Every structure is written in structure tokens, then in C-alpha cells.
Amino acid sequence: MTESNYSSRTSGSSTVAERRYEKQLELLWGPEMLSATTAEERATIFQQLYYGWIGDFINKALKEELTESELPPPTRQLRTYNVGRKLSREVRKDIRKKHSWDPFIGAEVRYRGDPRTLGYLRWIGYLRQSDRPHSLLAGVEWEVPPLHRVGDDNAMLLHDGVVHGERLFLPIRRCCSSCEPVEMIKLMVEPSSWNHSNSSSRGNNNNNNNNNNNNNIVTDVASAVSPTVPTPVAPNVLWSLIRAHAYHMWIQIPNKLLADLCSALTPVILERYVAHLESDKASWLESAGLVLAVFVVSVVHSCAGHKYDHMSIRAASIFENSALAVLFEKCLTISEKSLILPEMNIGRIMNMASSDVSDIGDLNWYVVYFLSSPLLLLVSILLLYRLVGWSAFVGISVLFVSFPVQGIFSRWQSSIRKKMATIVDNRVRATNELFSGIRIVKFMTWEPFFLAEIERAREKEVECLKYIQYTEVGLALLNGATPTLVIAVVFLSYYLSGHELTPTIVFPTIALLNILRIPFYMIPVIVSAILQCLVSARRLTIFLECENSHSDVHNVLRMFSSGVDAAFDEVTVSTFTPKPLPKCQTRTSGTIRKIFALLRTRKFPENEWRLLPCSDETTASATNSLNDNNNNNNNNNNNNNNNNNSNNNNNNKDNNNKEESEKEVGTDENADFHQLLPKELLVDVNLVIPKGKLTIVVGTTGSGKTTLLSTLLGGYEVTHGRVWATRSIAYVPQQPWIMNATLRENILFFSPEDANR
């Protein structure tokens, strides 16, 4: 369950948590390390244009005198520290926009265009099993539903917060809720008119008290809330990158346009040059001018093209390094709850760091081509029409006929790459598990089992690579054969129309058709790179949207003056277990139907996918399991019995249920989506640990001793009560460490033997 929140959090506490998170990031990044001005920053414009500032480094390298410490460092604006922090600020800004309506959970809303409607906001998030899983939806509990939700001609009009087996929110009344696009929902309460003294739980927790009045279902609104609240927008790390480093992206355009202009001028100058050679009245002044024009155009084309290549590679490096910095920042701040999801495994994180970040950086190599290639293609077609007339369109028609074939290959390649990304995640995860537990694997001789799992994943990956290579060969064959075919068709049609093929026509036409090959070849490459970049950016965005870690442990000095190191006050400690969601599939099939489905207004997002027949029982099981958990939570929260034996029984029961849940999760290997279900580990814990004294926690195996200690470190969520602890804690786990050696060597542990001992 990605968006449900089972704890009551007001906007005031969110603001405090946000400030605490900002301080945590400041400590994480640390101060900037200033250094001396680099040689590149001291270089003149001429030296930067012709890279004269690296001459000294080249001379030292030729003499083998260049050391690592003397290598040119990056300029200040290009260092990972600066570009990473800039992107980090943009990402946090986008995530705050996504949660801009969180303080208004429970507020009165209406459906835009239908003033008669009346409802209460319950949830903001994604419906993952839908045609647009990355578009934000608003969960609304209606008193007066919109017109399109009233009637008997639709399969799913109103529901109780469960869609395809996934619990999105908990409304007060049953079958009165729906999920609507956030842009179609209008908040009816101005922030300035909210009563800050009134506070209640989010819509998820309103079922804890069924006697609540709808008019009192509001949440705290911090004083910092703006009088105008923007509509939530789904974050996208790609747009954050473009905003953070827009200068480095758009500065490439002038150089690229200048290089393309020189490319288009070359056939024109060639035409004049051939005509000049055939003319009997050529003057030496005109000859010198043509030679000078060829020289100037060639030099400008070379300088502008190489400068564009240099700037695009640099921009790609900036995008890659900043995305990698933000990824590492998130790895150090992500919550344990988010990592419980099977799809958020170590293999996925390693794959994002090694592959997805590189795909995002490669976008800068092609994004300017995406803008300049159509323009260069249009100019070349006009110049070609000036030379051969309507025969140019005959050749162009061959190009357009090949475009659908390229589209087929590109879509096939994109679908294979998307499938391969998950396979690579599983392969990297299995490899990491083997290396991280190599000692126990060697002791138990489990190598064949781990290697078999890695080889199975690798076989699937190789199969995907094989099909990708098929698409690459098909695209290469198409791109290589099409320009030659176009030249033949153009000249044949031009000759059959009664024209004469002269040098002034043939050579400029061949030059123009060769220019056409570049955008024609780059367009499918650009499309493939952009599609791969969008997939990688989406994967990285999902990871960056995960919940940040926060500690529910308070400073013990705020409650106790002295003599106490830690204390528990009616504490309930919970964790979360992943449960596979039932299988669903889209109702739209075929490219055209999918395009129309994306273009039309989303009236019924819940009905875009349908459950597979074999998933009905799984849906009921998932819904009943979640309801049972919430009922147990309510009963346990109302129970104030502090009997230790009762706690131990509950803990043993919770551990047994946890094992059964994990077994059930492990049996469904094909599940793509999971829901996090809450699981109570410790209930109604009251404990005071005195300072300066030995305190021993005694209990049977699985009774919760380690959980109790981990709670002091902030390892579990405290869903009820409060925990206090000293700020200085040393945790030494009882984990054996055995060397791969004899018993004698393990006992001595590199120390000399003492016979007396």
C-alpha cells in the first residue's frame, strides 16, 4: 500500500519533520570544499573554443610527468556537490507539490463543472493498476456524487476505498467513495478560514470511531500554509533535472543550429562551385570567394560541431552525476518501511545507480538532435525540391514509408528493455545475496543453488539482449538501405520525367541526400533513447517518492530530569508485511485504442483495468486481511492491560502470523504489485530503564527482545504511545562472527597462544 497512512499525522508535525529532514540533509551533505580556480575557468574564450587550456596537461602527459593530483579538476559549477544539491532542492520542491493537499484531508470538496456535488477528501495518490499509473488521483467520499457516478450502466460507480484488492483509504460510509483526477476536484475551504484548534485523524483512521460527524472531519493546517493551495502534481525527476540544469541543456542549441546551418550551406556552395567550373566566364575573384566560402563553412562547422559535442557530453555528465548524488542521498534517508516492498530491493537500487542514471545522462546527447533533426530535414527537403522538383517528394515518400517500420522496431525494443529492467534487478539482487552471504554459503555448500538462480536470471537477460540485437540489426539494415534507395528513386523519377542529369544536379543532390541520412538515422535512435530515458526516470522517481526515515524516539531529557536512560509509555510497536495484489489487465488493447484512452477524460479510473478471473479469491483475502488488521489494531489500542504474559502471547501469535504471511508472499512469484499490511509486534509496553544500572530483558525465542531494543534505535514504527531514550546509545547485536579457519585459530583470533590460560 503505497499511499495509505495508518498513523495520524497533522500538518504541524509534517512541518517539524520537514525542518528536521532539512537539517539532516545539511549534515549529510556537509559544507562545500572550496578549491583554487581551475585552468579552465582562467582560460580565454579563444582557449575554450579550441581547448588551448589543456595544452600544458597534454605536454606533461607526453613526457609521462602528469600525476593524478595534477589532473584538471571540474569547475565549481560542475562539481557533483553543487549540481547534486541543486537537483535535490528541485526534487524536494516537486514532492512538496505532490503533498500540497495533505493538510486538507477531510476537507469539503466538489467536482469541477458540477456544483451540486458534495464530498470529503480522503486520499491523494496513485492507482497503480490503471492505464495511467503515474497520474495523481483524489479519493473522495461523496454525500452528493457527480452525475457520471450516478446510474446503473457502469461496472464500478462507487466503492469503499478498495480498488482491485488494494486498500487506498478507509471511508466512514461504505460504497460512497470514488477516485477522481486531482485536476477535477476543487477544495471548498480556504486555508485562512480553517480552525487550527480542530484536528482529527486522516481519512484512513476515521473508521476507528464510527460516531464521528462528517462536519468535524478536518485536519490541522499549519500557519505556514499559503492562502492559495496549488493542485497536486506528480513529481518527475526528468523535469526536475531540466529545471535544475536548464542552462547546460539549452546552451547547446546555438552551436548545434550553427553546425546544421553550415551543413545545409555545403550543398548550395557545391552547386555554385560546379556551375563555376562549367562556366566559360569564371573570374578569379569569384573562384577565390568560393574557395574562401568552403574554407569558412568547413571551419565554422567543425568548431560548432565539436563544441556542441563537448557541451552535450558535459551536460550528460552533469545530469548523470546529479541524479546519482540524489539517488545516494535517498539511499541514506529512505525509511525501512519503504524497503519492505519486494520491488524496492538492493538489486533495483544497484541497477538504478549503474544503468538508469546513465540512461538519463545519455538524453543530453540526443535531446538537441530531437529539436534540430526535423528542422534540418525540412530545410534539406526544400533545397532538394529546388533542384529536382516534384521528384524530391517521390524520394521523401520512400522515407515516410519506412517510418512505420522503424516505429515497429522501436516499440518492440522499448517493450523488451522495460521487461529486461526487471530481469536485471532480479539478477543483481541474487548476485548481491550470494556475495553478501558467501561465508554461510560456503559453509553449507549452497553454491549450486545460488548459481542456478543467477544463471536462470542471466539466461532470461541474454534472451532479451538477443531480441534487442535483432531490433538493432533491423534498424541498421533499414537505415543503411533506405538512403541508397532514395537516391536511386529520385534520380530515376527525375530522368523519367524528361530532365537531364547534369553535374550541377547530381552532385548537390547526392550531398543533400547524404545530409538527409543524418536526421533520418538519428530520429529512431532519438526515439529509442527518449523512451529508455522515460522508463529510467520513472523508476528513479518512484524510488525518490518513497517515504523518508523518521525517528519516533524522543529525547529522554525532555521528560525525565535524571536517572533514566529510556522509557516506554503504553507503546505499540508495528511493522509492515508485503502482500501481493491480485492480477489485473487493461481493458484497452491495440495502439489506437490506447491512444484514445489516454486522450479522453478519465471518468472511471477504477474501471480502466479488470481483475483476472483467478484473482477474485485473492481480492477477498486481501481485503479481509486488511480489515482484520485494522480491527485488531482498534481492539489493541483500546486495551490498556499491561500483563506481560498477555504481551508474550500476542507477540508469539504475531510472529506466527508474520511467518505465515511471509510464506504466502513467497508463493506468489509472479506478483508485480504489493500492498503493505500493518502488523503489531509489541502491544502496551510500559518500561523504564534506569541510568547507570544493568537491565536485562528475558524472554523466550520470538517474544520480542530484539524488537524492543530496535525500537530504541528507531528501527520500528511506534503506532501508539511514546518512547524516550538518551541521545547516546551503543548497540552491540549478538551476532556470531566466525572465520573460515580451524577452531583453534578462531579462539586465538591472531593472538599468541597462552598455555596457562
Residue 664 has pLDDT above 70, yes or no: no
Question: Residue 142: beta bridge partners?
Answer: 119
Lowest mean pLDDT of 8-22, 312-326, 400-414, 512-526, name the range.
8-22
Which cell goes with 5? 497512512
3-state secondary structure 575-630: EEEEEECCCEEECCCCHHHHHHHHHCCCCCHHHCEEECHHHHHHHHHHHHHHHHHH
| pLDDT higher at 195 or 249 | 249
Helix 391-436 and helix 503-544, axial crossing angle in degrees, nearest 10? 30
Which residue is it, cell 531540466? 242
Inform me whether the pLDDT recorded for 7 exceeds 80. no
* Closest by CA position to 226, among listed 187, 181, 182: 187
pLDDT at 656 over 60: no
CA–CA gap between residue 45 and residue 57 (Å, rounded) = 19
Confidence of residue 91 (pLDDT cuts 50, 70, 90): very high
Least confident window among 139-143, 275-279, 463-467:
275-279
**In the chain, where does the domain assigned CATH 1.20.1560.10 lie?**
238-544
CATH topology of domain 1-34+73-235: SH3 type barrels. (2.30.30)
Q: Provide the pairing of β-strand 185-187 with 108-111.
A: antiparallel
Specify the residue for cell string 506478483: 671
Q: Identify the weakest region by mean pLDDT among 271-280, 576-585, 591-600.
A: 591-600
In the numeric block, which cell numbers belong to residue 513? Answer: 541526400
- Is the separation of the CB atoms in 483 and 516 below 8 Å? yes
First to last CA, the chain: 58
d(CA 260, CA 519): 10
Question: Would you list the DSSP string of 306-338?
Answer: HHHHHHHHHHHHHHHHHHHHHHHHHHHHB-HHH
pLDDT at 629 over 80: no
pLDDT at 287: 84
Quote the pLDDT of residue 643.
39
Q: Where in the chain is the domain with CATH 2.30.30.190?
A: 1-34+73-235
Q: Which residue has the higher pLDDT, 533 or 755?
A: 533
Q: Is the pLDDT of residue 462 over 80?
A: yes
Show the cell assigned to 670. 509472479
Which of 59-68, 224-233, 288-297, 356-365 shows the lowest mean pLDDT across its residues?
224-233
548 pLDDT band (50/70/90 cuts)?
A: confident
* DSSP H or E segment with residue 637: helix 616-638
In whole angstroms, give the CA distance from residue 656 to residue 678.
15
Fold of 238-544: ABC transporter transmembrane region fold (1.20.1560)
Residue 207 has pLDDT above 70, yes or no: no
CA within 13 Å, CB half, 543: 30
DSSP assignment of 415-457:
HHHHHHHHHHHHHHHHHHHHHHTHHHHHHHT-HHHHHHHHHHH
- The average confidence (pLDDT) of the chain is 79
- Output 656 or 60, whichever has higher pLDDT: 60
* Lowest-confidence segment of 150-164, 433-447, 588-602, 713-727 by average pLDDT: 588-602
CA distance 659 to 681: 12
| AA letter at 676 | L
Whether the predicted pLDDT of 734 surpasses 50: yes
Per-position b or e across 474-506, b if 16+ CB within 10 A of its CB: bbeebbeebbeebbebbbebbeeeeeeeeebbb
Phi, psi of 720 (to 5 degrees): -155, 140
pLDDT band at 595 (very low <50, low <70, confident <90, very high): low
The Cα–Cα gap between 249 and 21 comes to 30
Write down the pLDDT at residue 412: 86
Q: Is the pLDDT score of 156 beyond 70?
A: no
Secondary structure (H, E, C), 260-290: HHHHHHHHHHHHHHHHHHHCCCCCHHHHHHH
* Strand ranges, E, within 483-563: 553-555
C-alpha separations of 67 from 63, 64, 73, 603 in Å: 11, 8, 13, 65
Instruction: List pLDDT tens digits, range 325-364.
Output: 999 999 999 988 888 888 888 878 888 998 889 889 888 8
Are the beta carbons of 137 and 127 closer than 8 angstroms?
Answer: yes
**DSSP conformation letters of 378-411:** HHHHHHHHHHHTTHHHHHHHHHHHHHHHHHHHHH
The confidence score (pLDDT) of residue 550 equals 79
CB 313 within 8 A of CB 365: yes
Split at pLDDT 50, 70, 90, the class of 735 is: low
Using the predicted structure, report yes or no on whether residue 101 has a pLDDT greater than 80. Answer: yes
pLDDT reading at 477 higher than 50: yes
State residue 111's pLDDT score.
Answer: 92
Cell matching residue 492: 530515376
pLDDT at 210: 34
pLDDT at 739 over 90: no
Q: What is the mean pLDDT of residues 98-113?
A: 90
pLDDT at 214: 35
Going by pLDDT thresholds of 50, 70 and 90, the confidence category of residue 596 is low
Predicted confidence at residue 683, as pLDDT, reads 92
108: β partners: 120
**pLDDT on residue 600:** 64
Residue 630 has pLDDT above 50, yes or no: no
Mean per-residue pLDDT for 387-402?
Answer: 82
For position 481, what pLDDT does the model report? Answer: 81
DSSP secondary structure string for all residues of 660-673: HHHHHHHH-TT---
Give the pLDDT of residue 151. 67
pLDDT higher than threshold 90 for residue 217: no
Query: In which band, very low, low, confident or very high, does the pLDDT at 143 lie, cut at 50, 70 and 90?
Result: very high
Among 103-112, 195-204, 359-368, 545-554, name the one with the lowest average pLDDT: 195-204
DSSP 230: P
Following CA atoms 637, 640, 645, 646 in sequence, which dihedral angle do they give, to the nearest 10 degrees? Answer: -40
Measured in degrees and rounded to the nearest 5, phi and psi for residue 748 equal -70, -35
**Cross-strand pairs, 717:** 574
With pLDDT > 90 as the criterion, what percentage of the chain qualifies?
17
Q: Which residues on neighbouring strands pair with residue 185, listed in sequence order? A: 111
Q: 3-state DSSP: the chain helix, strand, coil percent, rounded to 5?
A: 60, 10, 30
Look at residue 627 and tell me whether its pLDDT is greater than 80.
no
Give how far Cα 645 sits from Cα of 11, 226, 648, 654, 703, Å.
Answer: 38, 51, 5, 14, 10
- Strands (E) in 91-195, as ranges, are 108-111, 114-126, 136-144, 162-163, 166-167, 177-181, 185-187
Q: Round to whole Å and give the CA distance between 460 and 427.
A: 9
* DSSP letter assigned to residue 132: -
Q: How large is the average pLDDT for residues 649-674?
A: 44
